[in-house]
Amino acid sequence: MSLSITATVRGMAERANPAFGAGVVLVPVGLFVAAVLFGTVQQLTYVHVMAGVLWTGIDLFMALVLGPVLGGLDVEERASVFQRFTPKMTFLMPTLAFTTIFAGMVLAGRMGLLPGLAAWGGLFTVVAMGPALLAVGYQFDSFTDWRWLALFALIVGGGAASLLANLGTFALPGGAILLALAIVSVLTIIGFGVLLPGEARMYLEMTSENPDTELIGAIGMRNAKLSGVEGVLQLSIVAVMVYIRWGGFGF
């Protein structure tokens, strides 16, 4: 990796506009933390639903509108769009994904739909974030980088520790919740293991001495197509949530 993680984040924030980058991270996460610590179930539901609506809507917009438009541009024009577009998306989409997923899990726990929330949170971290981090390490050839190793140990090891420490509270939820957790795990692997690293790779290419516009455009188009896959998966979760609300708590 040609730039340190800190330098990469700082550079992307500058390209995205620091105020925008700070706002799209701090506002959703701040609302999530406030809802968890001080809010009601209704307020936590609002945070979860609004973050999910934005996450799903932007993914579908990228796949159905932006993707076809960019597909009709030549390589240079396409790369130029991604050079302006990518830094903002790098801060916005992971934040919306994080807020939606974890607000949903906490909400399910408070509603009694996900017994043993701490144990399930640990299992989810191992099952979803583990493969995502492995994908990141593979793409950046970082398996021997102490920073990647430390991050992997912290996140996956922390998840495993939470699972083991709370194993006595672990219980299976209804089939609908299990299906939602499975879909969310796939979304997490795609989003944090493929889309986010792709955006970082585009940034590193943009800031290199001789940017490869074809590579920038290719990664950008791949991300736009994968956003469509994520949009379909997110719509399937909406269908599951509707079933839980109107059809009962399990299959």
Residue type, position 95, single letter: T
Q: How far is CA 39 from CA 43, 142, 147, in A?
A: 6, 40, 36
The residue with greater pLDDT, 72 or 100, is 100
Note whether 125 and 155 are within 8 A (CB): yes
Which DSSP symbol is given to 170? -
Report the predicted TM-score, pTM, of the whole model to 2 decimal places. Answer: 0.86
Residue 140: both structure tokens together: 């950046």
Start-to-end Cα distance in the chain: 47
Note whether 191 and 183 are within 8 A (CB): no
Q: Is the pLDDT of residue 2 over 70?
A: no
**Domain boundaries, given as residue ranges, for the chain:** 5-114+173-247
**Interatomic CA distance for residues 121 and 176, integer angstroms:** 17
* pLDDT value, residue 79: 74
* pLDDT value, residue 125: 95
Which DSSP symbol is given to 251? -
Tens of pLDDT, residue by residue over 19-56, are 888 899 999 999 999 999 999 999 999 999 999 999 99
**Dihedral class, residue 86 (left if φ above 0, else alpha if ψ from -120 to 50, else beta):** alpha
* pLDDT value, residue 95: 93
Q: Is the pLDDT of residue 127 over 80?
A: yes
The model's confidence at residue 110, banded by pLDDT at 50, 70 and 90, is very high
* pLDDT value, residue 231: 87
* pLDDT value, residue 138: 92
Average pLDDT on 188-203 reads 89
Q: What is the dihedral of CA 7, 191, 189, 204, to 10 degrees?
A: -30
The model's confidence at residue 250, banded by pLDDT at 50, 70 and 90, is very low
Tens of pLDDT, residue by residue over 134-185, are 999 998 888 998 889 999 999 999 999 999 999 999 999 988 899 999 999 9
